[in-house]
Amino acid sequence: MKTYVINLASAINRRQQIIKQCENHQLNYQIINAINGKEIGNEVISTVTADYPTCALTPGEIGCALSHLSIYADLIQNQLDYALILEDDAVLYHSLKETLAAIKPCISKKKPEIYILSGIDNYNPLIAKKAGETVNFYGMAYGSRSHGYIINNSATQFIVNHNLPVKFEADRWTLYRDIFGLKIWCLDREIIGSSDLTSTTSALHKERICNSQNRGYLKALKKTYKWYQFKRIKNVLINKISKKRPQKQNLIQMVTAINLLSTPN
């Protein structure tokens, strides 16, 4: 399976760490230079972003979305059926290889699907998809994060068609499901963590917390999509009945995996 790794050119340590992990897991990876939204001029950023600056998306969010969109375009151009997308703060757990092998035979080549391998907020145990003998995927109830997921060709085409120019952040998974009907699968535990456990070094995370203006704009934008409210209410009711929180990864295992990143070969 082709693996794309998003990395800012200036983040040398992160690039070295993720390369080491990819090689340890024998992944067929390609480093993609992330687009730094703060380095994009206003004239360009207003061209590639819908209704800018009224949309209130931050330069970091726009750059992140464009980075993921550039990968989708490459996946489409090279006619790949699917690919694993990683951000450079990803921590790959030992069960990744088994999970990737299980996904390959079951991922759809026609219906748009995304498999979230990082932690999410809630999942629905009543909506399940078996992958191999030991891996079960579930319908995502709520969640974001984009540091580790698999996306198929149909889903990339769908997102490129609907999010270019950029309207939404890269990881608006719940919205992609409710508005566009993408199937978003997840696990009952993460198998790709983050080296930034508290998001203290993530400038993008800090931007999103402070960006209350965008939430108001996004709420209005959602209402412009036909049947959005109906589909949202339907999913809210379904998930309210049966949603569950995924199991937390054992903290010792997480810290051990992160410590291995700084261990010399």
pLDDT tens for each residue of 128-137: 999 988 899 9
What's the pLDDT score for residue 252? Answer: 45
What's the pLDDT score for residue 226? Answer: 80
Q: Stretch 14-26: mean pLDDT, rounded? A: 96
Type and span of the H or E element at 84: strand 82-87
Where residue 200 falls among pLDDT bands split at 50, 70, 90? very low
Can you give the length of the chain in residues?
265
What's the pLDDT score for residue 225? Answer: 86
131-160 burial code (b ≥16 CB/10 A, e <16):
beeebebbbbbbbbbbbbbbbbbbbbebbb
Please enumerate in sequence order all residues whose Cβ is within 8 A of that of 208, keeping only pairs 6 or more positions apart, or say none: 58, 61, 169
Taking only the tens place, the pLDDT of each residue in 29-83 is: 999 999 999 999 989 999 999 999 899 899 999 999 999 999 999 999 999 999 9
Spatial distance between the Cα atoms of 140 and 225, rounded to a whole number of angstroms: 21
Give percent of the chain with pLDDT exceeding 90.
Answer: 65
Q: For residue 9, count CB atoms less than 10 angstroms from its CB and return exposed for 0-12, middle for 13-18, buried for 19 or more.
A: exposed
pTM, full prediction: 0.86
Q: Name the H helices within 2-145.
A: 12-24, 42-48, 59-77, 96-103
Q: Stretch 215-219: mean pLDDT, rounded? A: 80
Q: For residue 242, count CB atoms less than 10 angstroms from its CB and return exposed for 0-12, middle for 13-18, buried for 19 or more.
A: middle
What's the pLDDT score for residue 216? Answer: 79
**How far is C-alpha 261 from the chain's CA centre?**
22
Residue 117: Cβ within 10 Å count: 29
Q: Name the H helices within the chain.
A: 12-24, 42-48, 59-77, 96-103, 153-162, 173-180, 203-210, 212-222, 228-242, 251-261
Q: Phi first, then psi: give them for residue 175, nearest 5 degrees.
A: -70, -40
Over the chain, what is the mean pLDDT? 87
Where residue 259 falls among pLDDT bands split at 50, 70, 90? low
Q: Stretch 109-125: mean pLDDT, rounded? A: 93
